[in-house]
A and B are shown apart, each in its own frame.
Chain A
Amino acid sequence: MIELKKVRKNYGSKVALRDVDLLLPRGEIVGLFGENGAGKTTLMKCILGLLPYDGSITLDGAPITPNNISQISFATSEHSFFPGLSPKSHRDFYREHFPKFSDTRFEGLMDFFELPKNKPLKHFSVGQKNQFEVILSLCQGADYIIMDEPFAGNDVFNREDFYKVLLGILEPNETILLSTHLIEEVSSFIGRAVLIHRGEIIGDVSTLDLEESGSSLIDFVKNTYNYRSDRVSKTLEALTGKKE
């Protein structure tokens, strides 16, 4: 279990995370939602130890260090692979550093996305780069897979097929923390939604509870954010002078 207690992160005078408490047990698919600049990426980078922070983040009760960091993998739209190398070279390199690296999963997902294995990644399209980033994160044998906007730039058909594959290959002990703006698209397969706003967790709900209450994820998000449904009509009225 990953446990965050009173995690605080400042960028100069700007508070990026404000006393965040969060539990991520094994075997969950958690969606992390929030507007741009809400603190999603900062939160993920703090978990990975890529940013210094105040508070505590533990993995199964122990601090996250190079000794246990291989239990967490990261797929980011910033891309963490080596652009001059081919997928095959990445596979060889990752095998040495991630003892649980899954060749079967790597080969299967490479075939699924129809990605070339010997071409340097810098020659891939943005969509292909995203796909490869996700593949690497899923093949490291990590128990916690953190994904930050992994599908930005991919077409809807690819995404939908990938969600199906993802659900099919995940082991019961694997946890996914997925940050995305595609709320409706992921609502069908996430088990829990965490909402972050200006560095604070403002909502945390299981999709099962939402179903039982007859509410949808998008309604929950809108309600939590106090979404003003009349803002479109008001703006149009102001711009065109016509009443909607």
Chain B
Amino acid sequence: MKKYLSVIMLTARSSIYKIFPVIIIMVAAQYFLFSRKLCLASVSEGYVKGAFPSLEMVVFESHIMWVLFAAFLFITFFLCRTGCEFKNKQGYTLKRLRISEKGVFFCQAIYNTTIYLILWGIQITAALWFCHMYVNDPSFGDLGPHTVFAAFYRNDFLHSLLPLAEFGIYIRNIILTIALGAASAVFPYKQRMGKIGFEMIVLTAACLLFFKVEMGSIDFTGLMIMICIFVIFMTIRFVMGKEDEYA
């Protein structure tokens, strides 16, 4: 078990110092954009009492979703880069470990999935914090938890993050996280063999296009689940079909 943990630690040591600053910057940027929008909304002469912008409108107009996507792209880049060979040939070392290269892939996939789960969790926490800021701002009147509850149904971005009673999107998000972890782990594995990890490119594009879904949107949720299952299947097929290079 320790040898598997050491590979996970190796991956973490190579990437964590880049990933956590990205997450911190993401939350800081979102806070800045959201609080600026909140401030503008509350002091703007255009908003008279009783006609203030809704929470979902503030979330939409503060563009926090695009900040998440930017952070997602950076994190994906760093995770895919970990284990890639440029000038060095660390693949020589990975082939000589007590665990196989397949084992290294699975360790990296577990670590990467955890990172995406952390990103998801932090984004939900940050979104709830921003909602709390809105609800507690006296400019917007006497609001309660139902405002937050309604916003998580009405705003597509918030709903895609935390879909409340819509279990289909939970399943999609969990499968998406696993697919992202697997695809970002197979990317360096393929790169070391001179191949391109197209799975990650497909999945990143799909995330940017189909992550944000309306409540009850079965078609896009289903499409995303199918893309994720395809990516997981292709990844596992590649890894399991790969013979160790020992002739």
B6's partner among A57, A76, A93 (CB-CB below 8 A) is A93
B88 touches A97 (CB 8 A): no
- Is A206 interfacial (CB 8 A cutoff)? no
B171 interface residue (CB < 8 Å to A): no
Contact partner of A81 among B2, B6, B93, B95, CB < 8 A?
B93
* A78 part of interface (Cβ distance < 8 Å): yes
- Which residue, A49, A70, A72, has most C-beta atoms of chain B within 10 A? A49
CB contact between A70 and one of B6, B14, B82, B96 (< 8 Å): that residue: B96
- Complex Cα distance, B3 from A222, in Å, reads 48
Is A145 engaged at the interface, CB distance under 8 Å to the other chain?
no
Kindly list chain B residues whose C-beta atoms are within 8 Å of the C-beta of A80.
88-93
**Cβ A66 vs Cβ B246 within 8 A:** yes
Q: Which of B12-40 contact A (CB under 8 A)?
A: 13-14
Given contacts A49-B247, A65-B246, is CB(A96)–CB(B89) below 8 Å? no
Q: Is the interface of A mostly helix, strand, loop or mixed?
A: loop
By a CB distance below 8 angstroms, the chain A residues around B219 are none
- Residue-by-residue, is B88-114 near A (CB-CB < 8 Å gives 1, otherwise 0)? 111111011111100000000000000
Q: How near does chain A come to B184, taking the closest CB pair, in angstroms? A: 16
Instruction: Name which residue of chain A comes closest to B103, CB basis.
Output: A66
Interface residue total, chain B, C-beta cutoff 8 A: 25
Closest to B88 in A: A79
A225 adjacent to chain B (CB < 8 Å): no
Query: Shortest CB–CB separation between residue A152 and chain B, in angstroms?
Result: 14
A53 to B245, CA, bound (A): 10
Which one, A11-19, A84-92, A181-189, is touching chain B? A84-92
- Provide the residues of chain A in CB contact with B91, threshold 8 Å: 80
Tell me, yes or no, whether A83 is within 8 Å of chain B by CB.
Answer: yes
B residues near A50, Cβ cutoff 8 Å? 92, 95, 245
Known: A69-B96, A84-B14. A49 touches B3 (CB 8 A): no
Within 8 Å of chain B (Cβ to Cβ): is A163? no
A85 touches B93 (CB 8 A): no
Of the listed residues B9, B90, B100, the one surrounded by the most CB atoms of chain A closer than 10 A to its CB is B90
